[in-house]
Amino acid sequence: MSEEKEIAATEAEAKESSEKKPSGPPKSTFREYFESLVITLIMALFGMTFIVQAVTVPTGSMQNTILVGDYLLVNKFIFTPGGHELPFLPQREIRRGDIIVFKYPGNRVNPRRDSSRTPPLEAYKLNYVKRVIGLPGETVEFRDNHVYINGELLPEHRIIGDAPGREAALDTHEFEERKPEDKWDVYYSKETMDEIQAWGHLAPERVAQYEFATKGKTMVVPPNSFFCMGDSRDDSEDSRFWGFVPRELIIGRAMFVYWSCDRQASNGSMLGCITSPRLSRIGKLIR
């Protein structure tokens, strides 16, 4: 009987010991908030470094797909590093038609074009948003408002769109009927389309502004590089002007618009951007 009492007493002591609170003073409210803030900042920093990034669109080269004043969320994780696909991760290689965000590589053929800007364009600092057109190893040619890949016409839905202003969307009207194989819309000015209809080709002085993959000057996309163009074709300085986008400069794929504002209405101020939103653009998927 005494043995049973000793066992019971030992169990009671163990239970009492396990229920005792840890020694030391309790955490203050400030400390709890501070620790939560630090953890949140670490998680946000990790996410912005490896998973997502927020960017804004400063030019109209992608109108009407993307408007000036759109704020985009970019998926930095989707593309496989160095082209090596890992089957257990939700990643893939860069595809034709992807709208990518990358660091501007600089105009090495005509650097004076960059230095003459106000302010001057600096390589590797400004984020650009363009559509992937040519993949590594492919030949690309831009001829009379058509794109040819490996000698074959690239199916694109061409629309006539004239810009009423740099901040506004293009005023568009149908130029040709959409075909089943046309996966995205591209916009050309009425002026250049009229040139082709009247003369059968673009004016020579217009063609002369392009350095890469212009008519009669087919270019091969180098390894680990991409040929990119804006959807607003007559208002886009892209790979036709400064060349190819190296893989290491690509940040990620544009996913959707998380905020959009009319900068003209906001007079360029951040407060005005908050009070002059384009509500219809928020949440729009980028395709």
Domains of the chain in sequence order: 51-275 (2.10.109.10)
| Those residues with Cβ within 8 angstroms of residue 96's Cβ, 6 or more apart along the chain or in another chain | 132, 133, 134, 135, 149
Give pLDDT, residue 119: 86
Q: What is the layout of strands, in order, in the sheet containing 219-220?
A: 152-153, 146-149, 139-143, 219-220
Question: What's the pLDDT score for residue 46?
Answer: 46
DSSP states along 158-200:
EEEEE-S-SSSPPEEEESSPPPTT--SEEEE-HHHHHHHHHHS
Q: What is the pLDDT of residue 37?
A: 59
Q: Comparing C-alpha atoms, which of 184, 202, 154, 227 is closest to residue 64?
A: 184
Mean pLDDT, consecutive 10-residue segments, the chain of 287 residues? 54 55 61 61 51 84 93 91 64 95 94 90 93 98 97 96 80 89 95 94 94 94 97 96 96 94 70 83 94
pTM (2 decimals)? 0.81
Q: Measured at the alpha carbon of residue 232, what is the angle toward residues 186 and 139, in degrees to the nearest 5? A: 65
What's the burial of 260, exposed, middle or buried (CB within 10 Å: 0-12/13-18/19+)? buried
In whole angstroms, how far apart are CA 180 and each of 156, 158, 176?
A: 10, 13, 13
Instruction: In whole angstroms, give the CA distance from residue 65 to residue 223.
Output: 28
For 209-242, what is each residue's pLDDT tens digit?
999 999 989 999 999 999 999 999 999 999 999 9
pLDDT for 142: 98
**Please, which residues bridge with residue 139 across strands?**
220
Task: Identify the pLDDT of residue 57.
Answer: 85
Distance CA 97, CA 146 (A): 15
172-199 pLDDT per residue, tens? 988 889 999 999 999 999 999 999 999 9
| b (16+ CB within 10 A) / e for 201-210 | ebeeeebeeb
pLDDT at 228: 98
SS3 64: coil
